[in-house]
């Protein structure tokens, strides 16, 4: 069993009967969804809110009932992967292009569990490109403003065309090399007109489930 499967299935153990669960996006969360679907077939009663159209399709495939924000008052638990996580449980997310919906759901959750294989662990963020979701109109100027913050931004492409998010926006992948102050950078990016959201998740994760020395480790964020 590989690391992604181990941490993905472990996260499913935190889902309790009657919960509203935020369902993340990505290859690690795939195993959480699959395990959760098995639990539903065995009698667990939950409802999920997906972070992407891809996740919604997988949830239906695995038999996980879905709901939306119109019918709930909050989310009990959100489970999602990450592209990079530092020692303080700050994250870079957005490699799958779903960062906006992922952040909305993580913010709405009473508890946010992050799952990551050992390759995602880092002392500091930045060696993985930071994804920023921007509106198409005036994106050239928006990218110049991002570049002024010290980044090398590139529009994400898919099959020789710009990648379009589920929200109809562009993704700009930004090389910052090393992010010394993630909270400040998050605020600066989101103050730029045209930026919808960025992939820095600062102080949001409640727990991290990962692999260290071939063992599952659960770390909690220090408040």
Count other C-beta atoms under 10 Å from residue 129's C-beta: 23
Beta 152-155 vs 170-175: how paired, if at all?
antiparallel
DSSP letter string, 50-104: ESSHHHHHHHHHHT--B--GGG-S-BSEEEEE-SEE-TT--EE--TTS-HHHHHH
Q: Exactly one of 3, 9, 102, 186 is catalytic; which is it?
A: 102
With CA atoms as reference, report the closest residue to 80 among 29, 36, 117: 29
Collapsed DSSP state (helix, strand, coil) of residue 146: helix
Residue labelled with tokens 């700009």: 172
Residues 6+ apart with CB under 8 A from 19: 46, 47, 76, 77
d(CA 13, CA 112): 14
Annotated catalytic residue 102: yes
Contact yes or no for 109/77 (Cβ under 8 A): yes
Active site residues: 102
């Amino acid at each position: 069993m590989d690391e992604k499967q181990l941490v993905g299935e472990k996260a499913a153990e935190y889902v309790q009967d009657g919960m509203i669960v935020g369902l993340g996006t990505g290859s690690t969360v795939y195993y959480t969804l699959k395990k959760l679907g098995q639990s539903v077939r065995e009698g667990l009663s939950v409802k999920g809110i997906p972070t992407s159209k891809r996740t919604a399709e997988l949830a239906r495939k695995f038999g996980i009932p879905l709901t939306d924000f119109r019918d709930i008052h909050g989310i009990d638990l959100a489970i999602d992967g990450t592209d990079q996580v530092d020692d303080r449980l700050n994250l870079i997310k957005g490699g799958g292009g779903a960062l906006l919906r992922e952040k909305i759901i993580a913010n709405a959750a009473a508890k946010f569990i992050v799952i990551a294989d050992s390759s995602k662990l880092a002392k500091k963020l930045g060696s993985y490109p930071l994804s920023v979701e921007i509106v198409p109109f005036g994106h050239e100027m928006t990218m110049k403003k991002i570049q002024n913050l010290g980044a090398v931004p590139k529009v994400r492409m898919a099959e020789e065309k710009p990648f379009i998010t589920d929200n109809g926006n562009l993704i700009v992948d930004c090389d910052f090399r090393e992010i010394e102050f993630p909270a400040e950078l998050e605020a600066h990016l989101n103050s730029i007109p045209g930026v919808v959201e960025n992939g820095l998740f600062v102080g949001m994760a409640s727990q991290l489930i990962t692999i260290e020395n071939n063992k599952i480790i659960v770390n909690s964020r220090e408040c």
